[in-house]
Chain A
Amino acid sequence: MIEFRNVVKRYRGQMAVDGISFSIAEAEVCVLIGPSGCGKTTTLKLINRMLEPSSGEVLLDGHPVASFEPEELRRGIGYVIQSVGLFPHMSVAENVGIVPRLMKWERSRREKRTDELLELIGLDPAQYRRKYPSELSGGEAQRVGVARALAADPPVLLMDEPFGAVDPLNREILQLEFAALQRKLRKTVVFVTHDLDEAIRLGDHVVIMREGRILQHDQPAEVLASPANEFVRQFVGVDRALKRLACFEVGDYMKRAETITREESFGRRNEPNGDGGEHPILWVTNRDQALVGMLEPELNPGSRLVYRPYVALHPDEVGVRPAASLREALSRILGQGLRAAPVISDEGRVLGEVRLSDIEELNQTGIAR
């Protein structure tokens, strides 16, 4: 979808992008990441011709971007910037509808599309249409910025640290919203950030840049498992093993869980066939199959399996959702001091469990390579 061929960009004698070549597949999120001044934003701006390369070329769908009129090109590429850059004198609806307006859509079609987009990003059109940027919170403004970029349904979306100016709590919400949106829209997204966690969370591929060069271009899990060089190793940090777990979804590593009802759990202290081996935690559920507590197995001095007394649990404190990352699962497991964490549905039903041993194994195989 997007291809860089030996692209060089010099600014006033300084090398910003130093002969990079890579390509981005359709419908994937490619995250450009690196320390400031590494050339990631420059790379992004070369795609929609906000900047022109000093040499080399950028191809979009097989055509050199230089062969398009810059304005035409940009109307067909969504662009979201860190400072949002909403037009302060235009209402939310006017901001979102600017590209259709530049493309001379009819008013009715424009308005319909605007409302559609506001709903898509989770802002009630009736309430937000007429608001002005000065009346929006940072997170709302950022969402409107995304809606504006999506207005003409461009196949490609460029996002330059779009959530950088938002507080950490809202940033995470925006990231999750964006991931959900992307699952629905399947755009080709080029995403610039300096936040590694964000890159891991959102990227299908990560491009690590330094001094205008690409150091590594791979899936996030691979980058974390085997950094290409010392710089990348340091950049991803000593906790890369932990970070890497964020690349995997709980649902993919879920095992069958043993559940019993509260009634069945009464008096269940000794297992008749208790003879060592793997002994799962018994997750105790109520009549609606919702998690209420557990019985944890333990080998007593005589190597006989016994269960410790019933412990009541709060599903939201111990359970993880299937869509959560293994990193989150690990933090629950460690937090509770257990060997596994229950995987629960939104209603609190037990779907399965994630085991510490599986996570350890995944970690071993990945990092060893």
Chain B
Amino acid sequence: MIHRHPGADLEKTTLLGAVLAGVTLLRPLFAFKENRVALGEPVMLPEAGGAWVTGAVAGLVLAAALLSFAPQVNRVRWAKISIGMLLFVTLVITLGRSGSQTVAGMEFARITPSTGFWVGVLASFVLVQGSLHSAPVSNLVRSVVGLAPFLVVLILLAGGMLDSLAPVQEYYTREARFVSELGAHLWLSGAAVLAASVTGVPLGILAYRRRMAERPVFAVVNGIQTIPSLALFGLMIAPLAYLSREFPVLRSLGIRGIGNAPALIALTLYALLPVVRNAYTSLAVIRGSVIEAGKGVGMSRAQMLRFVEVPIAVPIILSGVRVSTVQAIGNTAVAALIGAGGLGTFVFQGLGQGAPDLVVMGVIPIVLLSVFVDRSLAVVIRALTPRGLKGAPS
């Protein structure tokens, strides 16, 4: 691969994108349901979008397939990115428009996106990111391109153009509940990460500074991580219920076997590992020679902290917090099982009621939240990382 001309090569990623995009033509775009529990009737793209849209999508598929044989130069990259974007926008708008027409006049009717749609979205992702990741562009452009699809969906949602979608319908019937569960979700994961940071950073530092502490600290923290989250939540119930029964003070503080208290404890324990590990690493990467040099030029303990340790360590510690946060947002969904609330509530309700759309309605905000928090923290960390420690810009 390396010694051949890049143009002579088949771009496998693009070809994959093209093949995936082709699936949208062969599989149903969405399913029409008369009511929430009705079985869906599949609707194919030609039926939903008409000849023009079908032709356009077919054209995009063909173009992507052809471009996968073109040399990977900038113009080709941007052509592929545009194809991916166009595919996404076409599919979403078609879904919204056709959905509205299909359900018009029927009170409980709704549509659910099907294989064709989801695979199309995946195809779009592959085409865009596959070209973007090797493109010589700034981080800003990267972020803008990455955020564009979300923006499109948000605008369409705000304009009511996606109202016929089942998850959106599920949302409308639970708007108030959604807001409060979102709040609970944020509070739970936020508090857990905060608690894990407050305890984990000192633990990591302790593990680094005291050889005696290193093994036990990591044994415990790693051990926790190996317990499946469901089991850990379950494990919390018995002891907390017991404590709550024996000590009325605790009960009056709201500590019970189920609810927030066990969830928060379990989430905090889970969030510990990345924080502890990175706090440890952040000190371990500061080479002894650098500390010796700092001492040698006459830095006091406080100056060493300010000029050397904090600038080098903080970005690494924050990276741990970032991993922890993303993890906690996901784990919090499971916490709904022991009555802690959060967006997981909808997921488990949906599972219980056999309503996949409700599940989707709970899952999508969790995913978006994770991505958003992850990206934001990445930006903050990048800003805090001293230039000399950043890798060469890719």
B299 touches A81 (CB 8 A): no
Q: Mark A65-103, 1 if CB is under 8 A from B, else 0.
A: 000001111111001011111111111000000110010
Chain A residues whose CB sits within 8 angstroms of the CB of B290 once the complex forms: 85-88
B389 touches A89 (CB 8 A): yes
CA distance A73 to B296 in the complex (A): 10
Interface size counted on chain A using CB atoms at 8 A: 28
A79 touches B388 (CB 8 A): no
User: Nearest residue in B to A79 (C-beta to C-beta)?
Assistant: B296
Interface: A25 (CB within 8 A): no
Interface: B373 (CB within 8 A): no
B389 touches A88 (CB 8 A): yes
Chain A residues whose CB sits within 8 angstroms of the CB of B307 once the complex forms: 87, 98
For window 299-313 of B, CB contacts with A under 8 Å fall at 299-300, 303, 307-308, 311-312
CA distance A87 to B285 in the complex (A): 12
Interface: B5 (CB within 8 A): no
For window 257-297 of B, CB contacts with A under 8 Å fall at 287, 289-290, 292-297
Give the A-B contact count at a CB cut-off of 8 A.
Answer: 72
Interface: A50 (CB within 8 A): yes
B297 touches A88 (CB 8 A): no
Chain B residues whose CB sits within 8 angstroms of the CB of A84 once the complex forms: 289, 293
Query: Measured between C-beta atoms, what is the minimum distance from B300 to chain A in Å?
Result: 5
CA distance A309 to B324 in the complex (A): 86
Decide yes or no: A81 and B296 within 8 Å by CB, A88-B312, A89-B311 being known contacts. yes
A133 touches B297 (CB 8 A): no
- Tell which of B289, B298, B308 touches A81, judged by Cβ atoms closer than 8 Å: B289
Chain B residues whose CB sits within 8 angstroms of the CB of A76 once the complex forms: 298
Decide yes or no: A79 and B389 within 8 Å by CB, A74-B298, A85-B287, A102-B299 being known contacts. no
Interface: B75 (CB within 8 A): no
A79 touches B386 (CB 8 A): no
User: Nearest residue in B to A134 (C-beta to C-beta)?
Assistant: B388
Query: Measured between C-beta atoms, what is the minimum distance from B264 to chain A in Å?
Result: 36
Interface: A48 (CB within 8 A): yes
CA distance A84 to B294 in the complex (A): 11
Interface: A9 (CB within 8 A): no
Query: Measured between C-beta atoms, what is the minimum distance from B289 to chain A in Å?
Result: 4
Q: Mark A11-33, 1 if CB is under 8 A from B, else 0.
A: 00000000000000000000000
Point out which of B295, B308, B312 has the most chain A C-beta atoms below 10 A from its C-beta: B295
Interface: A148 (CB within 8 A): yes
Chain B residues whose CB sits within 8 angstroms of the CB of A50 once the complex forms: 292, 295-296
Interface: A248 (CB within 8 A): no
Interface: B387 (CB within 8 A): yes
CA distance A24 to B289 in the complex (A): 27
Chain B residues whose CB sits within 8 angstroms of the CB of A48 once the complex forms: 296
Interface: A310 (CB within 8 A): no
- Tell which of A74, A82, A132, A134 touches B297, judged by Cβ atoms closer than 8 Å: A74
Query: Measured between C-beta atoms, what is the minimum distance from A234 to chain B in Å?
Result: 32
CA distance A319 to B312 in the complex (A): 52
For window 353-394 of B, CB contacts with A under 8 Å fall at 386-389
Decide yes or no: A73 and B293 within 8 Å by CB, A88-B388, A89-B311, A90-B386 being known contacts. no
Query: Measured between C-beta atoms, what is the minimum distance from B379 to chain A in Å?
Result: 19
- Tell which of B292, B298, B300, B389 touches A85, judged by Cβ atoms closer than 8 Å: B292
CA distance A148 to B298 in the complex (A): 12
CA distance A74 to B297 in the complex (A): 6
- Tell which of A73, A90, A132, A133 touches B298, judged by Cβ atoms closer than 8 Å: A73
CA distance A73 to B298 in the complex (A): 7
User: Nearest residue in A to B294 (C-beta to C-beta)?
Assistant: A87
Decide yes or no: A86 and B293 within 8 Å by CB, A98-B307, A134-B388 being known contacts. yes
A-B contact pairs, 7 of them (CB 8 A): A50-B292, A74-B296, A79-B293, A81-B289, A85-B290, A89-B312, A132-B387
The 9 A-B pairs with the shortest beta carbon distances in the complex, nearest first, are A85-B293, A132-B388, A89-B386, A75-B298, A74-B298, A83-B289, A79-B296, A85-B289, A71-B298
A residues at B contact (CB < 8 Å): 48, 50, 70-76, 79, 81-91, 98-99, 102, 132-134, 148
Q: A89-B387, A91-B387 are in contact. List 4 more A-B contacts (CB 8 A).
A: A89-B311, A89-B386, A89-B388, A99-B298
